Structure 1
Amino acid sequence: MNYSNPFSKIQTLSFLFLILVFSFPILSETKPEEPKSLIVETNTEIVSDFLWRGNSFVGESQSRRNNAAYQSFTYAPALQPTINVWSPDKKFMWSLFGNFQLTNRDDRDSDRRLLQSSPGGVGPSYLGEEVKFFDPYGQDPCVQSVHERISTGEGSDPCLGYSPNQGYGPKKEPNGNRRADGLFFTMSYQFDPTKWGEFSVGIWFYNTFQKTSNSLLAPGTQKQNLHTSGGPNNTFNTNNPDAIHRLMWHEYFVHWQLPFLKIVKPTISYYTQYSTENGGLMSGRNYISLSGSYTFREEKFFRIMPHFNLGYAMGNNAVDNRNGIQDITTSTSFFFGDFFIKFAHIFRPDLYLWDTNNYFGYAGGDPNKSHWNRSSEDGKVVDPSRIYGAYNTSILNSIEQINTGNSLRDSIVKTWLREAYTLQNIPAHLFYVSLGYSKTF
């Protein structure tokens, strides 16, 4: 006969009940979602030149630094790292972009004058040069006296006991490529997609670490250079170490990715600029662009991405205030995993926007030579390789000494000869290449 123990059964049922009760919260509890993390995109490039919206921010200034003619391709390499940080919902984006020049960073004596009291100051380019050519306003009689003593052994003594160690000689102008180093900071917000497309708005700032010297105006922050070429109207000139350039500005922008042809991401962008350097006079006003891109073999190891941008300027700056197509930029990037190589071409169809002393500068940094680039319609500017040095100076001075007895005819002949010698065509086509690495975390 089998006997069952009621107490044992109760114990067993109670034990099972307790297990069920205490296990229920665990079995019924859902695992919480892990918080989404920030999305970080990095991109590092080495570019052959700092080109953007048709502007050659370093290549053309390097040509002036090196007394070289302007070219369609200029080797002025720079390291350009970028980091984009997205919020987990891909709404907010913070970005940093840097430009760090790799060559020709130091200042250089570009005007090749034998005797100067300050960078960009007056002085002869060769012994025996007539004073009327190197100091037509009589600004620096000491330099004149030193030159006269060295070349003839005679002369007055306005220097009050001049010593060769006093500091008269060739001077380096503030033109090193390091003056283009700088940093972009961008903030933007991406709205939810609608039937009208996708919209984003933002603002970005750019500031150089060292203010470049290529200023053409006279902000009150500059020091006067009393012995500079160009006379009393040019005491604030391009060779002033304290000059401020337009590589210090910021813009507000709106991007509109159109709701059709989404495969090529057609995007209309509007930028309006507000800048404080040079009283805002040298800043561009509004820039509108239409851009698009497409990636062949997307998600594959080897990919090809062509890109297109058409940019229109409504006011190239507040001085010239010219409108036109600023750039047609096309590029093709070849990706090998996270590495890529990019080839880019920039076409500047409206050279009218660039044919201005406010972009390329006056001949030799001298506003009184503004007539050397008389026309803003011929697509020509002064060639930096035809301005400085004993050879160029002697030719230009010889042209100025032409005298046939007819002043009107002489003026026409001098102008024609000088322009034939000094002017060159503005490059309408610019090229650059870059090597890079991109990674998303």
Structure 2
Amino acid sequence: MAEHRNGARTAPGARVRAGRRGTAVRVVALALAGAGLVGVTAPTAGALGTGPAGAAAVGEEQPGNGAEAAGRGPHQGGVDAPALNEALEGMVGIGGASSSLARVTEYGRTVWKGAQGVGDFSTGAEPSANGRFRIASVTKTFVATVVLQLVGEGRFGLDDSVESLLPGAVPGGGSITVRQLLNHTSGLFDYTEDPAIGVDHETWLREGRWRSWTPQQLLAVANSHPPYSAPGTGWRYANTNYLLAGMIVERVTGRDWRREVERRIIDRLGLTGTSMPVHATGIRGPHAHTYLDLPGGPVDVTEMEPSEMDAAGVGISTTADLGTFLQALLAGRLLPAPLLAEMLTVAPASGAAQYGLGIGRLTTPCGEVWGNNGSTGRGHNSALYGTLDGSRLVAVSTNGYRNTGQGWKTSQKLLATAFCGRRPAAATPTG
């Protein structure tokens, strides 16, 4: 196998293409947030350490607007660019990713961005720091924001029952509230853990990669299992909760949840690289390819039928768009203060997960940050975190490849490096 300069391997002379339907094998994806075998996995929370140093490298730099161009040098904007480049390189070299992108913003202004690895094994092209990627469970933060906007409009209450909004949707829905869906205390079974969806890698590439699902079919899978616990008595991450949240948005507004996310967030904030696809299998615009490392060589799994993830994780975005979204959210531009406070109220039962309503709290060596992360379980991983005052936000995309067991550790180093750099003493949030 040949070594690229950033440690990713390709078979000599091989052209790696997106596999035909039902042809290759799937392996355990390296997850930025600790992926499960399938579906959209739970975010990892807790305390961040700094981890070992990675190999030094220089992050990608591209011409940008004035705000981006101003933040490229070492320590500019309060960041240590060489240390961030080194941490990003470590995610590829030590962490085993085929490629990784990251961006640090301060009050909506990019102060550093980088890209490492190989964006396309067939051409050797480098990834773009401005590329698009599957955001997995970060989608939940978008969906939760829309649900809370509807609460603010008086369409329903956080403590209204699922039964009152979706009659007959789930057994015992009269005892499950909207709040419990958003903070994962409903006790409902996670449909991605069913054998029909949580299939082994070989079966997924042979039968599941291109399978189309409706929300009703996915919900029927969840309903075929007993709940994990009675509503409100424990915390268990379940994608079924956000499947139902998306259905509630559609029932109340008369429009698909995707259209509401577009209308209320994407269009409002001008997020030109963000989309919530229905059945589109590819990623429009520039993007790094995602690979699985198989005994016979790498298999390109960038393309996939995304309907299995639905409102739990179907989104596509960029690091710039994610930073814009989280900055607007934490600044109170998308939710009134009382509802933002509800969103940031951690469910006591969530324990170390520190999960609120579609968003989680993470402790770094330099204080607490808020955001979300996740994985499709197919090699696409993302993370988005920021300080409450908007002084620093970090967005990351990692395409898992070789499972070195160091993926989350190297991600911890990047996040800690980003948040522990000198932050601005004072700044005016941008609109």
Please report the TM-score for the alignment, with normalisation by the length of structure 1: 0.24
Please report the TM-score for the alignment, with normalisation by the length of structure 2: 0.24
Q: Which is greater in Rg? A: 1
Higher strand share: 1
Q: Which has the higher contact order (CA 8 A, sep 6+)?
A: 2
Higher helix share: 2
